[in-house]
Amino acid sequence: MTLDGSDIRRLRGSIIAHPVCVFAGVWTLAFLLYGLHLSELLIFDATGFAYLYAAIVGSFLAGYFYASALFFGLSRGASSGTEVMGFGFTDLMADEVEVIWKRVKTLFWIWALLTVVEVVVSRGVPLMWLFEGVGKDYRDFGIPSVHGVLLSLLLACSMVSYYLHLHSPQRRFIAIPIFAVIWFLICITRGFFVGILLQFLFLYLCVNRIKTSQAVKIGGAILAVIVFFGLVGNLRSGGADLIRAVGQPTARFPTWLPTGFLWVYIYMATPLNNLFNTIQLHVTVDSYTLSTTTAQLFPSFIRNLIFAKESLKQADLVSQNLNVSTEFIGPYLDMGMLGIVVFSLLFGALANVFWSRRSSRASLLGYAFIAQAMALSIFYDILLDLPFLFQLAWFWYILRPVRWRTVAAEGSEGPGGALSQGAAT
C-alpha cells in the first residue's frame, strides 16, 4: 500500500522496533541463554556478572532517556508524526521517487562495474572457491579498502530500494534488495547476510504496525533464516560436525534441532563467555585514545599506519575458534568498566537521536542500521564497523532533498505540484 501524508500512524511503527525494546531485549535474551549452559564452553555463572548486565543495559537506558529529555522538542515532533528536516517518509512525491530511484540505479551500476574488477582481480568469488576447494575463502575476496566501500554502497542501494518499495510497492524496487541478499550468500559473508536482513526488518517495523498474521509470518521468516544461517555456516566450515566439535553442546542440547540453532546459540552465548573471561583475567590499562575501540573506523591501509599492533589489545578468549566478544570488548580493554558505561551511554543517546528523527528519510534508514547494531551488539561492534557505518553517508547523499527548477515568470510549480516548491527550499 502506498503511504501518503494522511497515514501518520504508520510512521510510529511497531513498539518492538523501539530502541529500549531492541537493546534491553537482546541483552536479556543473551544472559538468559548463557544461563542455560547448553555448551561445555560456558564456564561462568552468569549471575556473578549481574553487575555487568546492569552496567550495559542501565547505562544505555540512562543515555537514551537523558537524550530524550535534552531533545524533548525533537522527540515530541517525531512522535506526533510531524515532519523533521523538511523531507519525511510520508510526503514522498511520485517525481521524487523517480529522482531517488535514478540515483540508486546510477550508484548500483557503479558498484557492479567495480565489483567485476574485484572478481577479475580475485580470480573468482568465495562460493566458487568453496566448491573448487582451492584453499581461499571470503577474506581473500576483493581489493583491500575498496571492498569495504563497495560493501557499504551495496548495503545503501538495497536499503533505499527497499525504502522505495515500502512507500510505493513495485517489482523494480525489490530487485536490488533481493540481489544484495544473494550476493552476500555468494560471498559467504554471514555478517552482511544477517545484517542486511535485520535492517530490512527494522525498516519494515518502523513504518508498519504488526498484526498477528504478520507476526506469524515474520516469526516463520526468522526461523527460516536461522536454518539457512546454519547451512551457510556448514558450507563455510565444511560440514555440521565442525560446529558440534567447536561448540561442544552438552547432552541437554536438543539434537533434533537443525544445526542453525546451535550456530545461533553459540554465537549468542560465547561472546559473553569471552567478555566474562576477559574481565576475570585482563588487567586493563587506561587508554584514553580508545585505540582498540576506534581502530576499525579506519580503512585497513590507514589503520596499519596509525596503530601499532601492540597498541591494539586482544580479548582473553575461552576458545580460539570463537573469537568475538560482544560490542563492549574494545571499550573494556581500553578503559575497563568505565569504558563500557561511557560507550553504552553514548550508544543509548545516539539511538534516541535517530529514533526521534525518524521522520527524516535518511534518519529513518539510519535508525534501521542503529537497530541492527543494537541487535548484534551481543556479538560484535557493528556500530563502528566501517562498511556498515558508511551507509549513513550514502543515505544522506541518495536521499538529499530534490530541488526542482521552476520558472517564476511563468508561474510554473515544477514536478509534483505545489509541494515540489517546498521540496526545493
Predicted local confidence at residue 208, as pLDDT: 81
pLDDT surpassing 90 at residue 273: yes
pLDDT surpassing 90 at residue 3: no
Query: Of 65, 57, 68, whose CA–CA distance to 26 is shortest?
Result: 57
Structure confidence at residue 1 as a pLDDT band (50, 70, 90): very low
Model confidence, pTM: 0.84
Q: Which residue has the cell 536521499?
A: 399
Higher pLDDT, 218 or 47: 47
Decide: 39 and 266 in contact? Cβ < 8 Å. Answer: yes
Structure confidence at residue 285 as a pLDDT band (50, 70, 90): low
Tens-place pLDDT, residues 318-338:
888 888 999 999 999 988 899
For residues 266-272, average pLDDT = 91
Q: Which residue has the cell 526461523?
A: 223
Q: Is 192 left (phi over 0), alpha (psi -120 to 50) or beta?
A: alpha
Predicted local confidence at residue 248, as pLDDT: 87
Predicted local confidence at residue 7, as pLDDT: 39
Predicted local confidence at residue 359, as pLDDT: 81
Q: Which amino acid is at 293?
A: T
pLDDT surpassing 50 at residue 118: yes
Decide: 394 and 374 in contact? Cβ < 8 Å. Answer: no
Predicted local confidence at residue 403, as pLDDT: 64
Query: Of 78, 110, 85, whose CA–CA distance to 394 is shortest?
Result: 110
Predicted local confidence at residue 311, as pLDDT: 60
Decide: 108 and 157 in contact? Cβ < 8 Å. Answer: yes
Decide: 346 and 63 in contact? Cβ < 8 Å. Answer: yes
Q: Which amino acid is at 424?
A: A
For the chain, give the percent of residues with pLDDT over 90: 43
CA atoms in the 13 A half-sphere facing the CB of 235:
21
Query: Please, which residues have CB within 8 angstroms of residue 102's CB and are 6 or more apart in sequence?
Result: none
Decide: 326 and 38 in contact? Cβ < 8 Å. Answer: no
Distance CA 161, CA 198 (A): 15
Tens-place pLDDT, residues 175-199:
999 999 999 989 988 889 989 999 9
C-alpha cell of 191? 555478517
- DSSP symbol at 211: P
Domains in the chain: boundaries: 9-411
Query: Of 364, 325, 369, 316, whose CA–CA distance to 347 is shortest?
Result: 369
Predicted local confidence at residue 310, as pLDDT: 57
C-alpha cell of 11? 510512521
Q: What is the largest CA-CA distance in the chain?
A: 81
Decide: 113 and 392 in contact? Cβ < 8 Å. Answer: no
pLDDT surpassing 90 at residue 165: yes
Predicted local confidence at residue 174, as pLDDT: 95
Tens-place pLDDT, residues 390-417:
999 999 999 987 665 433 333 334 444 4
Predicted local confidence at residue 237, as pLDDT: 62
Helix (H, G, I), strand (E, B) or coil at 89: coil
Tens-place pLDDT, residues 193-250:
989 999 999 999 988 877 777 777 778 888 887 777 777 766 666 566 677 787 888 8
Distance CA 284, CA 331 (A): 10
Distance CA 281, CA 279 (A): 6
